[in-house]
Structure 1
Amino acid sequence: MGNGWHEWPLVLFTVLGQCVVGGLIVTGLGWMAASDDRASQQRLVRSMFFLWLVMGIAFLASVMHLGSPLRAFNSLNRVGSSALSNEIASGSLFFAVGGFWWLVAVTGKMPALLGKVWLIVSMILGVIFIWAMTRVYLINTVPTWYTGYTTISFFLTALLAGPIFGALLLRAARIPFKGSAFATLSIVALLVSVVIMLLQGVQIGTVHSSVQQASALVPDYAAVQIGRLILLVLGLGCWLCPLVRRHSPHTLSILCGCVLVIAGELLGRIVFYGLHMTVGMAVAG
Structure 2
Amino acid sequence: MHELPLVFFTVLTQSAVGAFILLLVAGVLKQVEARPLAIGLFAAMCLFGLALPIAGLHLGQPLRAMNVLLRAGHSPMSNEIVLSSLFCAFGGLGALGLLLNRGAQRLFSALTWIAAVVGVLFLLAIPRIYQLPTVATWNTSYTLLMMLLTPMIGGGALAAVLGARRIGLAVSVVATLASFCLRPGYMATLMSADSALTSAQLAWFSAQAILLAVGVVGAIVHVRYNTGRSLLAASALVVIVAELAGRVAFYNLWTLPM
TM-score w.r.t. structure 1 length? 0.83
Distance 2:61 2:99 in 1: 32
- Give yes or no for contact 1:134–1:151 (8 Å, CA) kept in 2: yes
Match of 1:53 among 46, 49, 53: 46
Match of 2:93 among 100, 107, 114: 100
Specify the alignment match of 1:268 in structure 2: 246
- Give yes or no for contact 2:4–2:248 (8 Å, CA) kept in 1: yes
Distance 1:162 1:231 in 2: 16
Match of 1:6 among 2, 5, 9: 2
Specify the alignment match of 2:191 in structure 1: 205
Letter in 2 for 1:194: F
Q: What number of residue pairs does the alignment pair up? A: 257
Specify the alignment match of 1:65 in structure 2: 58
Asked if 1:234 corresponds to 2:217, the answer is no
Asked if 1:83 corresponds to 2:79, the answer is no
Gaps of 5+ in 1: 171-176, 208-213, 278-283
TM-score w.r.t. structure 2 length? 0.91
Distance 1:259 1:121 in 2: 28
Distance change in 2, residues 1:68/1:53 (3 Å): farther
Q: Alignment RMSD, CA only?
A: 2.1
Specify the alignment match of 1:223 in structure 2: 203
Gaps of 5+ in 2: none
Paired-residue identity, %: 32
Distance 1:46 1:200 in 2: 37
Match of 1:121 among 82, 104, 114: 114
Letter in 2 for 1:229: A
Specify the alignment match of 2:177 in structure 1: 191
Specify the alignment match of 1:25 in structure 2: 21
Distance 2:75 2:200 in 1: 34
- Give yes or no for contact 1:34–1:41 (8 Å, CA) kept in 2: no
Q: CA deviation at 1:136?
A: 0.6
- Give yes or no for contact 2:45–2:92 (8 Å, CA) kept in 1: yes
Distance change in 2, residues 1:103/1:68 (3 Å): farther
Distance 2:101 2:13 in 1: 26
Distance 2:250 2:142 in 1: 10
Q: Which protein, 1 or 2, shows the higher relative CO under an 8 Å CA cutoff with sep ≥ 6?
A: 1
Distance 1:15 1:178 in 2: 20
CA deviation string 1:15-73 (max 9, x = no partner): 001100111012223344559x9xx4234323433212211221111111123442221
